[in-house]
Structure 1
Amino acid sequence: MQAEFLTRMQSLETTVKDNTNSLNSVTEALEFMNNQVEEITDKVSSLQNRVESLEKENRVLRDKCDELDAYKRRWNLRVAGIQEQRGEDVRKILIDLFSKVSPEIADQLIYTLDVAHRLGPRSEGARSSRRIIVQFLSRNVRDQIWRDARTAAVLKERKIRIFEDLTQSTKDARNKLWPLVEQARKEGKRAGFRGPFAYID
């Protein structure tokens, strides 16, 4: 009887030791996993900080590129409504047109109108003519034509429109502000845009 009891006790002790060893192994595994999780968490946190830093740097660089692009475009104008013809000399056509828009600077155009060409590929059978982009060597000449174009009779008669050459971000900003500008004009106020910003007097 006593021998059987001792045998059972030894068996129970062995079971307890085995369970204890198993628990110790599980505890060690959990501690290892916890350390791994902490290490991964630290790495993820570091990567998140790096990503945020890169995103900020990317925004800054994108803004600078947009500013440079917008600055370069201030020497440009876009023209719509000029009938397209094969073999046309777009630069000459615009020099003739702008001479009528701003006759007081007509003699400067041959020297200051640098490049002019149609935008995009030519499409056979297209109903409308492609727009034209023109780049000036003189900002003063460009600005004079832009101002005079608002009241030029020749443009109204020929249904030709002249636009600023805007970046997409500037267009988007103006589109958001347009309802305010439109409402101000309906109220008889002087309103318009300067770059991506609206002004209301």
Structure 2
Amino acid sequence: MLASVAKTTQRNSEDTEECKSKINLLEKQVGSLQKEKEDLKERLVVQERHKRNLNLRIKGKKEDVNENIRTDINLLCKVAPDLAENMEEAVDSVHRVGRKTENRHRQILVLFFKRTIRDDIWKKNKSSVVCREEGVRFAEDLTREGFMARQAMWPKIEQARKEGKAAGFRDPHGYINGKCIEVSPKGAG
């Protein structure tokens, strides 16, 4: 009987050692998989940010019941008349974003083929009389991470502007007098 208990104890000890070695191997694999997951997540965020660099959002444009949203390209032509002849080829798609609600107008998302035309319209809309008259404004199409980063950096950018420094954003970074600043957004992670 004592020999049987010793044999069982020996077998349990061997099984425990085998389990420990398997657990150590699995811990290494999990660590490598977590690192790979974080790398893939970061690459996905970069790709999404790059893809959205071709988009502009139009805010404040009233919704009509039977509207043809594609005709909003005319607004882009008014903002940048010098680009009007190429606008039809430069715009890939135009659509409203979000659920339709009674008391709210949805934003319009414009996807451009050419970044240069998108950037020209972005620059010209800031001083556009047409935008002021129609009560619309353009906005960049930021990712959630980009939006949170801007929210976190905004106080520093605003303070720098009050001090007379050149300050602004270039997704996902902020710049003050040509120097890159980064602030980790609250709640990120």
Q: Distance in 2 between matches of 1:27 and 1:182?
A: 75
Whether 1:136 aligns to 2:115 is: no
Whether 1:199 aligns to 2:175 is: yes
Q: Distance in 2 between matches of 1:82 and 1:189?
A: 34
Normalised TM-score (structure 2): 0.84
* Unpaired runs of at least 5, structure 1: 1-20
Alignment of 1:1-201 (within 5 A): 22=2, 25-93=4-72, 95-123=73-101, 126-201=102-177
Amino acid corresponding to residue 112 of structure 1 in structure 2: A
Runs of 4+ in 1 over 6 A off after TM superposition: none
Percent identity between matched residues is: 37
TM-fit CA distance, 1:65: 2.0
TM-fit CA distance, 1:40: 1.3
Distance 1:180 1:34, change over 3 A: farther
TM-fit CA distance, 1:88: 0.8
Which structure has the highest helix share of the two? 1
TM-fit CA distance, 1:26: 4.6
Amino acid corresponding to residue 170 of structure 1 in structure 2: G
Normalised TM-score (structure 1): 0.80
Give the secondary structure class of the aligned counterpart of 2:122. helix
CA RMSD of aligned residues (A): 1.8
* Alignment partner, residue 14 of structure 1: none
TM-fit CA distance, 1:181: 1.3
Instruction: Please give the per-residue CA displacement for 1:107-126, whole angstroms capped at 9, x wherever unaligned.
Output: 22122122101012323xx2
Distance 1:35 1:111, change over 3 A: same
Give the secondary structure class of the aligned counterpart of 1:193. strand
Which protein has the larger Cα radius of gyration, Structure 1 or Structure 2?
A: 1
Give the secondary structure class of the aligned counterpart of 1:41. helix
Q: Distance in 2 between matches of 1:49 and 1:173?
A: 33
TM-fit CA distance, 1:157: 3.1
Q: Distance in 2 between matches of 1:31 and 1:168?
A: 56
Count of residues in correspondence between the two structures: 177
Amino acid corresponding to residue 178 of structure 1 in structure 2: W
